[in-house]
Amino acid sequence: MSHLTGRQIMLLLGCALAVITLAVGVYGLLRGPGGQAPDTPAPTPTYAGASADQSEATSPVTAPEELSLPHTTDPITYARAVAVALFDWDTSTGFLPTDYTASVLADADPSGQETPGLLTDVATYLPSVDQWLALGAMEVEQRIDIDAADVPDSWAAAVAQSNGQLRPGTMAVTITGTRHRSGVWNGEPAEVVHPISFTVFVGCPPSFERCHVLRLSQLNMPLR
Tens of pLDDT, residue by residue over 31-81, are 223 333 333 333 333 323 333 343 344 445 567 756 799 999 999 999 999
Q: Taking a C-beta distance cutoff of 8 angstroms, is the pair 214, 203 a contact?
A: yes
- Residue 43 backbone phi and psi in degrees, to 5: -70, 170
* Overall pTM surpassing 0.85 (yes/no): no
**Full 3-state SS string of 149-188:** EECCCCHHHHHHHCCCCCCCCEEEEEEEEEEEEEEEECCE
Q: Taking the CB of residue 213, how many other CB atoms lie within 10 A of it? A: 28
Which of 169, 170, 166, 172 has its CA nearest to residue 200? 172
Instruction: Select the more confidently predicted residue: 2 or 106.
Output: 106
What mean pLDDT is reported for the chain?
Answer: 79
pLDDT tens per residue across span 146-198: 999 999 999 999 999 988 889 999 999 999 999 999 999 888 999 999 999 99
Residue 162, pLDDT score:
87
